[in-house]
Amino acid sequence: MARINRRVGEIRKLSDGDLAKEVEEAHRRLFSLRIQWATRQITNYRELANTRHRIARLKTIQRQRQLRQAAAKKE
């Protein structure tokens, strides 16, 4: 598994394919944490919020790239 907490600058350096993999890994991590929460196995509840924030950060960067590409095509 890749490093869980990456800074935004490091995320921006990833290729589109790697970014998609990171989003998928984060969703899998969130699913796992939700199962742990439901079965009362999780010890740090803050991980759920951190993972959701990470997904939002990754998706924001993906969307920024999409908008940048769309703007480049218009020009």
7-38 residue pLDDT tens: 888 999 999 999 999 999 999 999 999 999 99
Instruction: Evaluate whether residue 2 is within a structural domain.
Output: no
Q: Residue 34 domain-assigned?
A: yes
Tokens, residue 2: 């890749």
The C-alpha angle 58, 14, 21, rounded to 5 degrees, equals 60
Total count of domains within the chain: 1
In a domain, 3, yes or no: no
In a domain, 55, yes or no: yes
Q: What is the pLDDT of residues 42-65, one digit of tens each?
A: 999 999 999 999 999 999 999 999
So what's the pLDDT on residue 9? 87
Host domain of residue 57: 8-74
CATH number of the domain enclosing 16: 1.10.287.310
Asked if residue 4 has pLDDT above 60, the reply is no
Position 40 in a domain: yes
- Please report whether residue 1 resides in a domain: no
pLDDT at 7: 82
Would you tell me how many other CB atoms lie within 10 Å of the CB of residue 18? 12
pLDDT of residue 5: 60
